Amino acid sequence: MSSRLAVRKTYKLWIGGAFVRSESGRYDHATASEDGPTVNIPRASRKDVRDAVAAAREAAAPWAARTSYNRGQILYRAAEALESSADRFAQSVGRAEVDAAVDVLLHYAGWTDKLQPVLGGINPVAAPFLSFSLPEPTGVVGIVSPDAPPLLGLVADLAPALAAGNVAVAILSEAQPLAGLDLAEVLGVSDVPAGVVNLLSGRRGELATALGAHRDLNAIVDAAGDAELSAELDRLASETIKRVRHGAAVTSYDSAVGDSLERMEAVTELKTAWHPVGA
């Protein structure tokens, strides 16, 4: 009696709501665990970065136009789907990290309809005018994820960007990309519209600079912990006046949500309107 060989999974990039092969056709190798099989990881190219930003830009306006309540529902569904796949993710990153990532998604799902009353409001003016401010999403946010923790580190920066109404292009952990690529399958069944989240695996130095230099990107969230790369991202961002937030990789649920408002403010704009009042 012969034993059959298991069908190995073919990993792909997640761009525009679809699993796509890298434009370059290049691959790296990774293993999900110490005794697990070696798998091919798509190595994204600069062309893939451009495609991801284009997909994100197309999705930006419809996502921002959704009600905050609806965005919260979608983030809640993403947490629910990740919880359902917890056993599979736990094989590569451990159950504690999966649980923390689920809780982070739930936390920011609850923030979606609270950002406006917290950041917005009526401004006191010593003049016959009514002035009020409303928070608006920055737009397309680039995320440079840390090497570790690969899942929680990604979710900790992705969730606040989505909760604030932004769309994202994320560069996954270079050392441990499998958790981020598997997350694409979770997002695919979570009602997240196509293009709202785009996930790229590959060489961080190559992809991050291409992303930072893209003129249709509005903000960068950098958690890679690479001082040289951070300086280069600052330089590239200055050319088009992008928002930049550098932060350390989170290591727990508490560190991911302890500065929730700061994380969302970093990818939020305030629109102020003035109206004359009185005679």
Residue 158 placed within a domain: yes
Average pLDDT over residues 208-215: 97
Burial class (CB in 10 A: 0-12, 13-18, 19+), 72: buried
272 bridge partner residues: 133
Flag whether 85 is in a domain: yes
Q: Is 124 exposed, middle or buried (0-12, 13-18, 19+ CB in 10 A)?
A: exposed
From residue 186, how far is each of 22, 48, 75, 83, 261 by CA, in Å? Answer: 20, 21, 11, 10, 26
Q: What is the predicted pLDDT for the residue at 35?
A: 66
Q: Is the backbone peptide bond immediately before 149 cis, with ω within 30 degrees of 0?
A: yes
Q: Report residue 37 CA to chain centroid gap.
A: 28
φ and ψ at 171, to 5 degrees? -95, 120
- Does the structure show a pLDDT above 90 at 60? yes
Residue 1 belongs to some domain of the structure: no
Residue-range definition of the domain harbouring residue 191: 13-276
Compute the distance between CA of residue 184 and CA of residue 180 in angstroms, rounded to an integer. Answer: 7
Query: pLDDT digits over 99-145, tens only?
Result: 999 999 999 999 999 999 999 888 888 888 888 888 999 999 999 99
Q: What are phi and psi of 44, to 5 degrees?
A: -65, 155
In 79-232 the beta strands, taken as DSSP E runs, fall at 121-123, 129-137, 140-144, 167-171, 197-200, 219-222
Q: Say which CATH number the domain at 253 has.
A: 3.40.605.10
Domain membership of residue 5 (yes or no) is: no
d(CA 2, CA 17): 39
Whether 227 maps to a domain, the answer reads yes
Flag the least confident range among 141-145, 186-190, 228-232: 186-190
User: Nearest 5°: phi and psi at 133?
Assistant: -120, 145
Domain tally, the chain: 1
Does the pLDDT of residue 33 top 70, yes or no?
no
192 found inside a domain: yes
CA distance 223 to 220: 10
At 66 the three-state DSSP class reads coil
Q: What is the DSSP letter of 95?
A: H
Whether 31 has a pLDDT exceeding 80, the answer reads no
- Looking at the domain assignment, is residue 3 inside a domain? no
Whether the per-residue pLDDT at 279 is higher than 60: the answer is no
Half-sphere exposure of 178 (CA within 13 A, CB side): 20
Whole-number Å distance between alpha carbons of 30 and 184: 17
What band does 48 get if pLDDT is binned at 50, 70 and 90? very high
